[in-house]
Structure formats: C-alpha cells, structure tokens
Structure 1
Amino acid sequence: MNKNLKRLILLFLVALLATIAWQYPKLNLISGFAAKSTASSIFIAGRSLNSVTENDNNVPLIKLAESHYDATEKKGFASVFGLMEREAVCRDGLGCVLVNGDIDVELYTQIPSRSSKHIELPYPSGHENPVDTVFENVNYKQIEKALDHVFADTVKTRTALILYKDHILAERYTSGFDASTPILGWSMTKSVLATLFGILEYQRKLSVSDPVPLPSWREDERKYITLNHLLRMQSGLAWDEDYSTISDVTKMLFKESNMAGSQAKKEVIAKPTDVWNYSSGTSNLLSGLMRTKFDDYQNYLNYPYKALIDKIGMHSMLLETDLVGNFVGSSYGWANTRDWGRFGQLYLHNGNWNGEQLFDPNWISYVTTPTLHSDGTYGAHFWLNANGKFPDVPRDMYSANGYQGQHVFIIPSKDMVIVRTGLAEDPQFNTNTFIKEILEAIQ
C-alpha cells in the first residue's frame, strides 16, 4: 500500500471519527425518535416496519437509525451504527413511551376507561355510513383534480377528507392507509388539549384567566403568568423549539420522563404578553396542570375521553402518556382521518355535538382571536389566517396544525372542514393552492 493511499485512509478515518464525536450527543435523540416512531406506528397504527423505515423515519439524521421490534413484548428498538440503542414500550390504552433508566415503566399502568358507544347517526355526526349526497353547486370533477394535485408523489399526502355542510364531499387515501388507519397528529394534539381547557372552563372548574397554580412560581415574577398566557404561547418563559438539533423540545420529547416539567423549569426572559414564542413545552405544562384538577390519577386519565373524545365518537383516538403518566398534549395524539374530521366538525358547530353543548360558543372567539406578536397567525393553541397568510383562503379559516403537514382546517364561512395528513408541509404541500382549488369547485 503506497503512502498516498495510507494518508487518504487515515484522513478518512479521522474525519469519520470527528463526525461521530461531533454528532454523538445527537445519537440519543436520533435513536429515541426512531424507536418511538417505530413502536407507535406498528402497535397503534398497525403499520409495517418496512413502511415506517422507508417513510416516517426516512428524514435527515433519523434515517441513520436502524430499527426493529418485538411483537410479543410490544417494544420498538433503534440504534445508530449499533450505538446508543433506545427502547420504546407500548402499553394498552396509554400508547408507547421511551424507556429511561430513572423511571420504572411499570409505575403508571392504569388505563383510561373508554366508551365505544355506537352513535346511530350518519357520519360525521355518528358512526353509521355517511349519506350519499350530491350538491348541485359543487363541481366534483374539480374536487377530484384538487385531490389529484395534492396526492402527487412529491407532495407526500397520505389522507385527505373534505366535509361540506355535514357531508363527505370527497376523501382519498394513499396505499397502506384507509379510513380506519390512526394518524399521528403531532401538534394537532395541542388543539385537542386546548379544547379540554375550554370544556373545563364551561364546567366552571377553572378560568383561563387564573394564575398558573404552581407553588414554585408564587415567589417570583412567574406568579403573573396565567393559563391564558400559556394557551397563547406568550408566557415570557425561555424555550427553544428547534427539531434539527439538541434543543429544549427534542430533549423533552426524547429524553425527559416528566414532560410536564420541562417548561416549568425555564427562566423568565420577558413579561407575559411581551413576546410570542411557540413552545411544545408549554402545552405539556398545561397537560400537567390539567392533572391537578382531578382528585386522583384515574379521573385524569378518563377525562379527555369522557368529556370530549369518546363523547363525539372519536373512538380511534389515543393520547399517549409520558413515563410519569402525563398526556403528551404537545405531540402524541393519534386518530383516523374521519375522527380528526369529527374534531373539526365540533368546532364548526360551535362546540355543540348532536344537541349537547360541550364548551361555550364564545370559546371559538377566544381561540381564534389573534395573539399579540404572532402577526395574526396564532390564537390559543390554534393557527389562524387572520392576516391573510393564505391569500385565496377566507380570513376566518383556523386550523389544528402538526409537524409534516397534519391539518384540520375549519372554515366557518364555507361550512367546511378539510383534513389533510402526510409527510410534507409548505412548500411541498401548498396549503393555499389546495384549499383554493377546493373552494373554486363550489359555486
């Protein structure tokens, strides 16, 4: 072997070792994402390992991980080049959770009490087959063209559902998905969490103007932070929501046992309302605060399902918990596309479900009022079009949004709910064009 070749090999090895050393702290997060994604997608959504590896985990850095699972133990595993293996365990009724050495996964094994009551009404109001209705003012060929565009390979759409005047206008699913497949909503879960606070307020169990009831906050400037500030992401607490590196949010989701505590420990960087700073830590803090409203853990577990999810027939929905039993309200809500559509319908009907009022109709005004410093794009755990970010979409449109383009769009002025799920967001998935083409089909 000549000297030049030896030098090249040596340089390659040095570069490789330097890269590994530089990226090594990230391996824990990479393996964590892959293990959690693999476990949840297989054991909650019934997907195949090959499908998850080639799609959900096929993103920068995460694709370096190699994943496998144990069907008997309901566990998912992942490592990077054999390094930093992580394990995710799945529990009936609670979803899947990454294992950390400091907390025994068996400590919190109570499961929610669920109702699977069949609502004898056509979808979306109930569980009977949807009524086959043809609207004379709808150009159905144009609707199909809009779906053709959004299901192009480069757009990476998985499912789409269009509800108009309480009827299915159209729906479509890519290969491997159908109307029963649970979809991870990511941050759409935040809007579900906020809705629970709206219900609690309607039941007079809290007010969003209440100060945050944390004893550790009572002796410093954090005592001025209210639930409203948290719901609007304007608490003034530090938080770094960067998914591309080791940040507050990635450490919380893939390393923390108690995700409700991550935001609570952060320092104050501004007075409440002075800044708007999107924070998944804030949502999980709210989930932990919701837990304090119940006398025991079982009632906390039951509440989202009893008060909202099962009440409106979203029986496919599952809210995953962290290692100490808190719902991961920032990110880990699963439901099939039609059930995500039910959630939008609840808002379209101002909180009324088949004659029962779940939250005050004024709650809609609250969550859709633009938050200061958000440039008209954010309300209270819902995204807005108040500033015309999407110029061809009505300004009253608001939505639950999630990572990689999960959306429930609610358009009151058009009596419409649109659900889109996938693996790409703007610019690959163009929200404005998709909704514009749908609306242009309605005369």
Structure 2
Amino acid sequence: MTWIKATFVGLILLGILVISAFFIWLAPVGAGYTAKIMCSAIFVNGLSSDRARDEDVLADNNPLLSLITANVDLRHQTVSAHAFGFRTRIAVFRPNLGCTLSDDPARIEQLRATSPLIRPIPAQPLRTASVPGNIDRRAFNNILADAMDEPGTDISRRSRAIVVLHRGKVIAERYAPGINATTPLPGWSMTKSVFNALLGRMQQEHMIPGVDSPVLINEWQSRINDPRAVITYDQLLHMSSGLEFDESYWNPLSDVVQMLFVEPATAGFAVARPLEHKPGEYFSYNSGATNVLSAAMRNISGSILSYQHIPFDMLFRPLGIRNAVIETDQDGYFIGSSFMHASARDWAKIGQLFLQDGVWNDEQLLPPDWVKYSVTPAPAAPNGIYGAHWWLQLPGSRDKDGDTQINGPTIPDDAFFALGHDGQIISIIPSKELVIVRLGLTRDGSAFDQHRFVGSISALFPDIIARNGDTTVEVENTAQSAE
C-alpha cells in the first residue's frame, strides 16, 4: 500500500508541476503568439477572424495553442488572448506599423498615439509581359498549378501567392482565394534580407560607416571593456557576431520565441545577449542579430520618428512599395528579424532591386558593390550557405521522416534567396533574369518542395550570357521540361 500511496502522491505533484509550468512559461507564449498572429492576419493581411484563427494560428492543431482563447475587437483593432483567463496578452494595430504586443492595457492608447504619419507613396506598378515564346508554357503553367494545389487529401501546403518576374516584368502570378495582388502577407525571416537593403541604403546616404565599423549600441559602448563593443555590422550581417542566442522555434522557452512573443522589448532582449564566441569566428544563424542591427539603426537615427520613417522614405518610396509595413515592439523598435508584411509583387520588387545590382529607375539606391558583398559567402558560414542576410543555397525538402533530400533540376550557382518561416521565399537568379516569389502557410516541410519548385521554373529559361545595351544574348535552352 505504501508504494501505491507514494505513486499517487507523485502523480499529484507531477500534475501540479505540469500545470504550474503551463501557466508560468507556456501560457504567455501561446497567448502572445495567438494575439500577435491573429492581429496581423486580420488588420494587416485583411483576413477574416475565423480564417486568422483556424489557418494562421491553428493550422497544425498545436495542442498548446488550442488551449488559448482569443477575443477580437474590430472597433478598437485589437486582439487579446489568454489561457483560462490568465496571462492575457494584447496586440494592437496601428496604421503604418502593423500589430504590436503589449502586456499592459494602459499602453494601448499610448501605442496608438505614436503611429507615424507617412506621406502617400506614388504607385510604380510592375509592368507585365507574356511568357516568352521560347518557354514551354504548358510545363510552366503546370509547375504553378501544382504549387498552388494541395499534395494530398490533407490541407498542408497552403500556397497563398506566387509571382514570377522575367527581366523585371510580371509574367505569371497566382493567388489563393481571398488573396490578391495588393494583399500584404508575412515574410517572416525574409524581413532580414530587407534589413540588409535598408542598411545598404543608409550606407549609400552616408548615414552609417563601412560594414567593418562597430555597431552603435549604447549599452555596449557605455560599459568599460564590454567585449561586445567591437561587434561590427559585417559580423551581424554574416551571423557571426558571437552573441549567445537559441534559434529553436520548437522550444517555447528558446530565445527566439521569448524575444518575439513574450519580451516587451524585442531589441532590448537581443542587445542584452552575452558573448559566447569571439566575434567573426563562429556562424550561428539567429534572429537576435537582425534586431541588434535594428537597435543600431534606431541609435543612428536620432529620434524614434526619424527611425520609423526609414523603411518608407529610403526603400518603399523609391520602389513604389505601397502595401508593406514592418511591425515594432512596444518601444517602437522594428522587429527586423521577422515581422514585415508586403504583397507578393512588393516582395518581388525587393528581389528585382538586387537582381539589378541595387539600381532602380536609373538611380543607384544601394552602394555599387553592395549586392556583390551580400552574396559573397560569410567567412564563418559552413559550405558557403550564407552571405550577408541572404541565403546562397536553397535547402532541400524534408520527407515524412524529416530527412533532407534534394529533388528536381539543379538551381544555377548564381542564385540567392530570402527565406522565411512557413515556406516564404524570394529566389533571385541573375543568369536567368528571374525573380520568383512564393508566399504561403506551409508548416509541414514535406508539403512543398522549394528546391523542386525553383529549379523546375529555372530549367525552362535559357541562360543570359551577355548584354549589350538593351539587347541580351541567350544560350539555347536544352533542359528538359519539368513535369
């Protein structure tokens, strides 16, 4: 009887421990994620409340998120979420800044009052063109149709938008129901590549020194002999700052999850990370690095208002990007690692800017060598997989067992990519003069094969081997059409 009693007591204690862990550590994550994602889906992306809840939050039936209750206030444009009445998190929408998480209801009005006024951005519509006559149109359309379809009976791919540019013109686009050419959609970590562009613009305008200069972080420079004070823009862009950071999305207590969905000061959390390795010697892809860069941009800008105008005045306005926002934390710092929303065409413009070596409408927006710098392999990155906030290789898909495999035609060596959670991708292939954008909500890595998708489209187009003025010379395309 003694062991039965001990087992019973042990089970009770275990249950208390599990319940305590849920309310102390897990509930804030679930509530914060639910409030933030639903707020952005409804008030930024324009989706219905039901779709935001059922797809964007509960797409994979996450057991933690299914315990969270959300309340949408359409009048005040807020979403609150809680677990059984505890640990309520609130996300508030603001024009031009999207949705911001806060724990304090009293901060909501303060947040609304700090939304910047942005002058209207003149439209610069992308030109359209037919699929070139030397391209197998049936194969091309089949690739696009397959990418928009579901791979099986279960809904898991959830492609929402595809745009293909060839020589700067839209030759194809596809949208899921309820999504169109002006719908802003989340790019997740593709935002990192946009921050690369913003830093390039700031260097072009002489707002920041060279990339080998230490970043301006007040907390680091103000401390005597702080080893972090020597970290440079280059090391942060190359993901080799040496800062300790756990990028494990599966772990609700990891740095990246806590930073994005629990901590009120995203940039402050990233800046506070201790040094784990000597700067420049160890590659560690992490979202904290970009938010340190965001903090440095804020310090350089002087005022919070000037800082919040940078994306609009220095990048969105020159490119005619009208359907984009980068969301902030409650201190007003851009969450540069993860939270930009833009239409598929606007994401394509970012790709086209880099395809054109930083030139737009005959204006050099980025330093002349910036794109070359961005796609040069980071010294510490293994196998040359990463440049300066741009990926240089596209990972293979995951099969049902979680193993990586490479399928489909080879992708040209000069291709580079912006990648984001849930299957977001901008593919830039200079040798084909192609920009391919795919946006979706794909959490099962086996449901959409990015490598096959990009490689199959690329294989249909001939290589560009020379350009003389407006004339291009192409290599005859001998690749077999991808079925």
TM-score by length of 2: 0.83
Residues of 1 paired with 2:214 and 2:458: CA distance? Answer: 42
1:264 deviation in Å?
1.7
What is residue 321 of structure 2 aligned with on the other side?
Answer: 314
What is residue 435 of structure 1 aligned with on the other side?
Answer: 454
Q: Within the alignment, does 1:396 sit opposite 2:434 as a pair?
A: no
**113, 120, 133: which one pairs with 1:116?**
120
Q: Within the alignment, does 1:146 sit opposite 2:153 as a pair?
A: no
1:18 deviation in Å?
5.2
Residues of 2 paired with 1:368 and 1:45: CA distance? Answer: 31
TM-score by length of 1: 0.90
1:14 deviation in Å?
8.0
> How many residue pairs align between the two structures?
428
Q: 105-114 or 173-182: which moved more?
A: 105-114
Q: Within the alignment, does 1:23 sit opposite 2:51 as a pair?
A: no
Tell me, which stretches of 5 or more residues in structure 1 are unaligned?
1-8, 120-125
Letter in 1 for 2:267: A
Q: 99-108 or 242-251: which moved more?
A: 99-108
Q: 404-413 or 243-252: which moved more?
A: 243-252
**Residues 221 and 132 of structure 1: CA distance in aligned 2, closer, same or farther (over 3 Å):** closer
1:284 deviation in Å?
1.0
What is residue 264 of structure 1 aligned with on the other side?
Answer: 271
Kept after mapping to 2: 8 A contact 1:156/1:424? yes
What is residue 34 of structure 2 aligned with on the other side?
Answer: 34
What is residue 386 of structure 2 aligned with on the other side?
Answer: 378
- SS state at 2:114 partner: coil
**Residues 158 and 360 of structure 1: CA distance in aligned 2, closer, same or farther (over 3 Å):** same
Residues of 2 paired with 1:78 and 1:53: CA distance? Answer: 11
1:132 deviation in Å?
3.7
What is residue 46 of structure 1 aligned with on the other side?
Answer: 46
Residues of 2 paired with 1:10 and 1:387: CA distance? Answer: 49
Residues of 2 paired with 1:190 and 1:250: CA distance? Answer: 16
Kept after mapping to 1: 8 A contact 2:31/2:68? yes
**70, 75, 99: which one pairs with 1:67?**
70
1:103 deviation in Å?
8.1
1:238 deviation in Å?
0.4
**Residues 435 and 198 of structure 1: CA distance in aligned 2, closer, same or farther (over 3 Å):** same
- SS state at 1:269 partner: coil
Residues of 2 paired with 1:83 and 1:281: CA distance? Answer: 28
1:333 deviation in Å?
0.5
- SS state at 1:306 partner: helix
Equivalent residues in 2 for 1:288-303 (5 A)? Answer: 288-303=295-310
**177, 189, 212: which one pairs with 2:215?**
212
Deviations 1:225-247, CA, capped at 9 Å, x for gaps? 11111111111110011122211
Residues of 1 paired with 2:178 and 2:105: CA distance? Answer: 37
1:41 deviation in Å?
1.0
Deviations 1:203-250, CA, capped at 9 Å, x for gaps? 222221111223443422223211111111111110011122211111
1:87 deviation in Å?
1.3
1:84 deviation in Å?
2.4
- SS state at 1:365 partner: helix
Deviations 1:174-199, CA, capped at 9 Å, x for gaps? 12211121101111111111111111
Residues of 2 paired with 1:51 and 1:134: CA distance? Answer: 34
1:297 deviation in Å?
2.0
Tell me, which stretches of 5 or more residues in structure 2 are unaligned?
1-7, 151-155, 397-404, 462-476, 478-483
- SS state at 1:171 partner: strand
Kept after mapping to 2: 8 A contact 1:34/1:57? yes
Residues of 2 paired with 1:263 and 1:46: CA distance? Answer: 30
**158, 169, 175: which one pairs with 1:173?**
175
Q: Within the alignment, does 1:135 sit opposite 2:132 as a pair?
A: yes
Letter in 2 for 1:407: I
Kept after mapping to 2: 8 A contact 1:232/1:379? yes
**Residues 216 and 73 of structure 1: CA distance in aligned 2, closer, same or farther (over 3 Å):** closer
Q: Within the alignment, does 1:415 sit opposite 2:433 as a pair?
A: yes
What is residue 442 of structure 2 aligned with on the other side?
Answer: 424
Letter in 1 for 2:241: S
Q: Within the alignment, does 1:243 sit opposite 2:249 as a pair?
A: yes
Residues of 2 paired with 1:134 and 1:161: CA distance? Answer: 13
**Residues 398 and 294 of structure 1: CA distance in aligned 2, closer, same or farther (over 3 Å):** same
Kept after mapping to 2: 8 A contact 1:387/1:395? no
**Residues 15 and 401 of structure 1: CA distance in aligned 2, closer, same or farther (over 3 Å):** same
What is residue 349 of structure 1 aligned with on the other side?
Answer: 356
**79, 84, 87: which one pairs with 1:76?**
79
What is residue 232 of structure 2 aligned with on the other side?
Answer: 226
1:387 deviation in Å?
9.9
Letter in 2 for 1:20: I
- SS state at 1:69 partner: strand
Letter in 2 for 1:286: L
Residues of 2 paired with 1:106 and 1:66: CA distance? Answer: 23
Identity %: 34
Letter in 2 for 1:220: D
CA RMSD of aligned residues (A): 2.4
What is residue 56 of structure 1 aligned with on the other side?
Answer: 56
**Residues 38 and 344 of structure 1: CA distance in aligned 2, closer, same or farther (over 3 Å):** same
1:294 deviation in Å?
1.8
Deviations 1:12-45, CA, capped at 9 Å, x for gaps? 9887655433433111001100011111111111
Residues of 1 paired with 2:128 and 2:102: CA distance? Answer: 46
What is residue 157 of structure 1 aligned with on the other side?
Answer: 159
Residues of 2 paired with 1:318 and 1:381: CA distance? Answer: 19
**Residues 101 and 143 of structure 1: CA distance in aligned 2, closer, same or farther (over 3 Å):** same
- SS state at 2:319 partner: coil
**Residues 423 and 16 of structure 1: CA distance in aligned 2, closer, same or farther (over 3 Å):** farther
Residues of 1 paired with 2:271 and 2:128: CA distance? Answer: 48
Q: 242-251 or 12-21: which moved more?
A: 12-21
Residues of 2 paired with 1:82 and 1:103: CA distance? Answer: 18
1:362 deviation in Å?
0.9
Letter in 2 for 1:34: T
Deviations 1:285-342, CA, capped at 9 Å, x for gaps? 1111101122322211112111101220110001111101111111111111111111
Letter in 1 for 2:268: G
Deviations 1:91-121, CA, capped at 9 Å, x for gaps? 22221111123983444533334343434xx
Letter in 2 for 1:72: R
Residues of 2 paired with 1:274 and 1:439: CA distance? Answer: 35
Residues of 2 paired with 1:386 and 1:249: CA distance? Answer: 22
